[in-house]
Structure 1
Amino acid sequence: MADYSITGELRRLPARAAQFIRRYPVPKRGTYGPESRISVQDVLLHCATVRGDAFVAFQLMRRQGLPGAYFLHLDVLDDALRTLDGFEVTEHECEQTFGPSWRQVVLHAIDAADVVHAHFGQLDTADSIAGNRRRLNAWLAARDAAWEAGLIKAWYRAQEAAGESRYMDDVSLHIDDRRCGDLTTMVRDAAAAVALSDSLGQFGFTREHFETLLEPWQAASQVSPRVLPRESALRTHPSPPVALARNSR
């Protein structure tokens, strides 16, 4: 598993987004057309040099009250700028948002955003997995483990950071609904697995569950396994350590 350190670009992204919003003020309600409306996430995407950083930063700041992915308007502008101005991307914030396996979560989000955006039409989704019983059982095991570990909110945030919502919008689904659905499932399932890397072998979440969730995305994308857990984590623990049973984030 490759290590990950927060980049300077990710650290500077909230400030760059705030600067962009101030440079191009949000117009008054009723004075703009649908094509000119943008969300906070759109701004982050515009300002990010690494596409995945935008989705990671968005989830980090959502936990601190950043308005959601809906269009920016004057009613939420002050709250958005206050969060962007005051937010600092740190390892502590990453762990609080995504759990103890945050490094793997961020790596996966960055890889997924890059690969799907650049190679959407070429990714192999020949074998649909959305209704696969083995996959569903693994996902349920992961969800239950996240709950038992006190990481359920972090677990869901990891999936949100990896799954780019525009591939499930009406336009994309009209073009290829099965490909969009399968890719979204693969990306989010892989995130669900790597978010529990540090809990592997505990709370009923096994290596088989982990691989069932991760392998379809790796097979489709040919992404090198940068997010695999440490070998020591692949051994089943006799009982979960008390330290992991932390409060839900």
Structure 2
Amino acid sequence: MTFEPSATPEQISARQQAFDNQPDPAMLVSREEIRAALLDRHTAATQDKLDSAHVAICGCGGLGSTIAVALTRIGVGHLHLIDFDRVDMTNLNRQQYFLKDLGQYKTEALRSNLRQINPFIDITIDTVKVTDENVPTLFENESIICEAFDVPENKTMLVNAVLENLPDKKLVSASGMAGFRSSNLVSTRRVSKNFYFCGDGETAPVPGAGLMAPRVGVVACHEANMVTRLILGEEDA
């Protein structure tokens, strides 16, 4: 594990102990209880489609962690979390992590947190950096791919690699979510047959209006909702 330089040995030990000693969520609820609650809200026909869906989330930061929480809460059956980074203090203003997660790999921390929502979701993690070279094999088991990176160059790389190498996969991407401009500027549009874009497309972080939880969350939920629509057979944005 790594921690920010200001962390004391006592803090590091306390965080690790808190992370390691979370309650086993499978002891708190049964699969049948969770499914009954989901069926009550969604009906069996809808939930069966959600149960069988396979979704990859590339990047487990503000976008990706929020997308993952939303999809876990509605019972998407199979999630693939991909990120190489660790949780640090600057992430907590917008990402779905807690103080106990500081220093942990985001993939491992997010998987742990998602299991506290629904321990019966199938969650695969890859703690790797996505590259042009590994895209063709990294997503072979998923029909829907969410781009959730922070860095514009990484977004472009993934979009281009998926469109070139995996044209039959559904791709949901995002850009333009910084600051606190009106949420009404955020939209979802269908760029091409299998490519969808969420955000306002222009708002980049600037001093005083960086990446902030409310607006990042709006865009992330646009992505999660588009994923849900695709799972349920709705292909129009």
- What is the TM-score of this pair, normalised by structure 2? 0.30
Richer in helix (by share): 1
TM-score, L = length of structure 1: 0.28
Higher normalized strand content (fraction of residues): 2
